[in-house]
């Protein structure tokens, strides 16, 4: 059975080619474009094999304040409120060292900075999947 990767990213239409090697290798990529979509699909994230998470998103249409890095807020909610233990790889442009430290505390398996080669993304995602298998 193919492994499922949830990709929370609001620019999937622009950077979609980056996951092509993963799809060609047989992984199922489920794309969520907004934080609301992700938070409405917590059970789907819980049972997925990996969450590929962007940090920066547009503010939700609901007007709810998700702070400077909505991805970080979503991750906190998943981990702390809903007890979701799915391995997480952060795939984002955020490069501040302090944010990285917070992500590590939340048990993020890897942090990949954009831009990255698609082959490199695939290799590192597979490394995390193998470690969790």
Partner 1 sequence: MPGDRLRKMQDELLDLFALATDLPIVSFEYREGQWMGSFPERGRANFESHCNLLHTFPGGRKLCEEDMCQRAARVLETGQGHLSQCHAGLYNLALPIRETEGTHTVVLYGQMRLAEAPYQQTAWEKHCEVRDKLGLTTAQGEQLWQALLQAKQFPRGKLVELQHRLPQIATALNALIDGHEVHSHVLRRAAEKICHELKTRLQAMVATAANLRDEWELLAPTDLRHELDVLVKEILALDTVVENLSDQTFLSDYRFTTQSIVSLLYLAKHLYEAEAARRGIEIAIHLQGYTDLHISSAHLQYAFSNLLHNAVKYSFRGTPSRPRRVQVTGAPYPGKPGYAVTFENYGVGILACEKIKIFQKGYQGKLTQREFRTGAGQGLAFVQQVIERHHGSIEVESTLMADTQDPLGRPHRNKFTVYLPYRQPGDTA
CA 132 to chain centre: 16
The nearest distance, CB 24 to partner 1, in angstroms, is 8
Q: Does 18 bind partner 1 (CB under 8 A)?
A: yes
DSSP state of 81: I
Stretch near partner 1 under the rule CB under 8 A, chosen from 37-45, 59-67, 72-80, 99-107: 99-107
Q: Does 20 bind partner 1 (CB under 8 A)?
A: yes
The nearest distance, CB 8 to partner 1, in angstroms, is 15
Classified as helix, coil or strand, 32 is strand
The nearest distance, CB 23 to partner 1, in angstroms, is 11
- For the chain, where are the E strands, in sequence order? 4-8, 28-32, 50-53, 88-92, 110-113
Nearest Cα residue to 5 out of 72, 45, 56, 50? 50
Where do contacts with partner 1 occur on this chain (CB under 8 A)? 11, 14-15, 17-18, 20-21, 56, 93, 95-97, 100-101, 104, 110, 113-119
């Amino acid at each position: 059975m193919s492994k499922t990767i949830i990709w929370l990213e609001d620019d999937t239409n622009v950077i979609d080619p980056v996951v092509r090697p993963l799809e060609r290798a047989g992984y199922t990529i489920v794309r969520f474009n907004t934080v609301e979509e992700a938070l409405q699909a917590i059970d789907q994230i819980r049972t997925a094999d990996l969450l590929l998470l962007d940090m920066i998103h547009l503010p939700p249409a609901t007007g709810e304040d998700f702070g400077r890095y909505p991805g970080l807020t979503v991750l906190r909610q998943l981990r702390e409120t809903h007890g979701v233990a799915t391995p997480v790889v952060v795939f984002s442009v955020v490069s501040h060292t302090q944010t990285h430290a917070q992500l590590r505390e939340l048990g993020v398996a890897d942090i990949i900075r954009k831009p990255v080669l698609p082959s490199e993304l695939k290799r590192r995602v597979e490394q995390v999947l193998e470690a969790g298998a």
